[in-house]
Amino acid sequence: MLPAMKIVNHVYPDSATIAAATALTISNYIDTKGWGHLRVLFTFGGAAIAMTAAPKLQACDTTAGTFADITDAVLAAAPTATADGYLYAIDVDLSGGDIPRFVQVLGTKGTDATTGTGIGVIGILTRPCAGSKTNSAADMGLNALVTA
């Protein structure tokens, strides 16, 4: 059995083709309340041109506030045009209470005017705090959970 976790589909792959020289800022946020650890997974497809800035995580206490970079929560380098199918991750320790509650992704695609970069982002929250509910599929951020 897997440890208690919640999965957040942060960026939907079909709708996340980043247009030329456009910043990827997602308006749906990862709500980290009640969790001690966040792993954000990035996957790329159709990467016809490299991103000009490595994807990074930002956080804020409210969804409508000003998001600021999370220290060291950035990929080491921007994914290249050959990153199709690559999988990257950023881990964030939430247990210290110094990371604001809501997390978003920010990244910028290259300057080609006609092609886009497909990106999918999933947040996996683990290490629930005392009192967090993780019993049902909905508690885990899932539409359905099948156990075989």
List, run by run, the mean pLDDT of 10-residue segments along the chain (148 residues).
Answer: 68 51 63 91 72 86 92 88 81 93 82 63 83 72 80
Domain assignment of residue 146, yes or no: no
> How many separate domains does the chain show?
1
Domain assignment of residue 96, yes or no: yes
- The pLDDT value given to residue 1: 46
CATH number of the structural domain spanning residue 76: 2.60.120.1110
Tokens of 86: 């690559």
- The pLDDT value given to residue 79: 79
Domain assignment of residue 135, yes or no: no
- The pLDDT value given to residue 19: 53
Q: Which domain holds residue 21?
A: 5-128
Domain assignment of residue 106, yes or no: yes
Domain assignment of residue 112, yes or no: yes
